[in-house]
Amino acid sequence: MSTSTEQSTPSPGAGAGQTDPFGPPGEPVEGRVYTATGQDWQEIADLQAERGDERIVVNMGPQHPSTHGVLRLILEMEGESVLEARCGIGYLHTGIEKNMEVRTWTQGVTFCTRMDYLTPLFQEVAYCLSVERLLGITEDVPEKATVMRVLLMELNRISSHLVAIATGGMEIGALTVMTIGFRDREMILDAFELITGLRMNHAFIRPGGVANDLPDNGIAKLRDTVAWLKKHLPEYAAFCNENPIFKGRLGGVGHLDLAGCMALGITGPVLRSTGYGWDLRKQQPYCGYETYDFEVPTWDTADAYGRFRVRQEEMWQSLRIVEQCIDRLERMEGEPVMVADAKIAWPAQMSIGPDGMGNSNEHIKHIMSQSMEALIHHFKLVTEGFRVPPGQAYVPIESPKGELGAHLVSDGGTRPYRAHFRDPSFNNLQAVPIMCEGGMISDVVVAVASIDPVMGGVDR
């Protein structure tokens, strides 16, 4: 248990004024204010003993309570009931957004893909769509590249939901759900590795298209992956949907209605569990989503169980989209996957040498056989990068956790003047107090797991 301190100033009830560092100036405070700063825990215990009541401040974390990262929950409790809950974030801060200011526009993909490490391809797409809007080349991106982006995003949506369901099940003792969730995710990661070369943090989506075309056996591998998922996704419904223990642990827990979601800016499955079918793929289509046949699942319980059912059905809808993408890609063999403008297109068609690391002799000969101007252009594009006209752009997309947006500002140079992301986990974590206060401490982890926050995206 980590430590915290308690303000020594008496409460208003004791006849003196007291300030709450978490409240607006002048707001009246009832009771004692606890400020968690990591000091001597014994001091808190002694002060608490003097009060003579049953209230106690507990640190849940910093650890991984179904959060895919390090979250600290500061809980004020009476018995097993949670009276107040606050989130302590920042333990996973990486400075990604600031680092992007000193890298080229293409190198920025390598940073943003590492924010929410369970949904890397969504960050890449949001970022590249914003760069392409600034460049004015949105309509020039090849159709095949757009279809590949949709394919990878929807596979990524399934893998993210599998982790949410698996870790959420693990926290309440449903260990079989955890093992099969990660088993099925491995199949998707194998497909990612075949297409992008990496299981995570791909940097595969580039401004202007994607890094490379599908490999020769890509279509066949994708069809095998779809067949595997079709066979095994029904297991989650069989294990959980009508399981009385599962429903008892999730039903009515973490309740947040539509008004609360709208007030707090909550999106994604948490919003759709209230019955409101808001999905940017339908409301504000991008990447040609308006041309795909799929539905937006909703539920009407506004609790942790409803969010589980929404994610479960969304995996099936994503699988429908994946199948449509595969059919389209099969008809697009040989088509380009990067814009034709050589001043923007990152040189991506690079063969690997026999050591598996450097460029092959064939590729080196190909570059060196060009004119000196072509070689200089290649060198400058890779080392210096392309210039983006001054301006700013914000492009939102529907990630597995809600609205993910990339806000980019350009001063006309070869790197972003400012890069900022609206990560849905950051906004959705605002719901923790309203979901947990008044409930039992045993339900806190269930409520947090139903939000499915990834702290890499929260802290960035």
What HEC string does 265-288 produce? CCCCHHHHCCCCCCCHHHHCCCCC
Same domain (yes/no): 275, 371: no
Dist CA 5 CA 35 (whole Å)? 6
295: domain CATH number is 1.10.645.10
Q: Is 96 inside any structural domain?
A: no
Which of 185, 455, 143, 62 is CA-nearest to residue 329? 143
**100 within a domain of the structure (yes/no):** no
The answer to whether residue 266 is domain-embedded is yes
- Cβ atoms 412, 390 nearer than 8 A: yes
Each residue's pLDDT expressed in tens, for the chain with a length of 460 residues: 333 333 433 333 333 455 666 667 777 666 666 555 555 556 666 766 666 667 788 888 777 656 677 888 888 888 888 888 888 888 888 889 999 999 988 888 889 899 888 999 999 999 999 999 999 888 888 999 999 999 999 999 999 999 988 888 888 888 888 899 899 999 999 999 888 888 888 888 999 888 888 888 889 999 999 999 999 989 888 888 888 888 888 888 889 899 989 989 999 899 999 989 898 999 999 998 999 999 999 999 988 899 999 999 999 999 999 999 999 998 888 888 888 877 787 765 555 555 555 556 666 666 666 666 667 777 777 888 888 899 999 999 999 999 999 999 999 888 899 999 999 999 999 888 888 888 888 888 888 888 888 888 888 8
Q: How far apart are CA 442 and CA 414, in angstroms?
A: 51
The DSSP call for residue 253 is T
450 and 349 in one domain? no
The alpha-helical segments, DSSP class H, found in 268-421 are: 269-272, 280-283, 304-330, 361-368, 372-383
Assess if residue 95 is contained within a domain. no
The residues near 303 (Cβ < 8 Å, ≥ 6 apart) are 250, 251, 252, 253, 254, 255, 273, 450
Side-chain half-sphere exposure of 351, counting CA atoms within 13 A? 10
Q: Is residue 93 part of a domain?
A: no
Provide long-range contacts, Cβ within 8 A and 24+ apart, for 41-45: 41/1, 41/3, 41/4, 43/5, 43/6, 44/3, 44/4, 44/5, 44/6
Burial class of residue 137, CB neighbours in 10 A (0-12, 13-18, 19+): middle
Count the Cβ atoms, other than its own, within 10 Å of residue 45.
11
Distances (CA, A) of 175 to 64, 69, 181: 16, 20, 10
Quick one: 64 and 166 in the same domain?
A: no
Locate 50 and state its tokens: 């003097």
Domain that holds residue 134: 105-339+391-459
Same domain, 144 and 236: yes
- Pick from 22, 56, 88: which residue ends a domain? 88
- Both 283 and 404 in one domain: the answer is yes
Number of domains in the chain: 3
Looking at the domain assignment, is residue 94 inside a domain?
A: no
Upstream peptide bond of 62 is cis (omega within 30 degrees of 0): yes
CA 131, 135, 138, 142 dihedral sign is negative
Same domain for 80 and 132, yes or no, is no
Same-domain status, 288 and 208: yes
Domain co-membership, 450 together with 327: yes
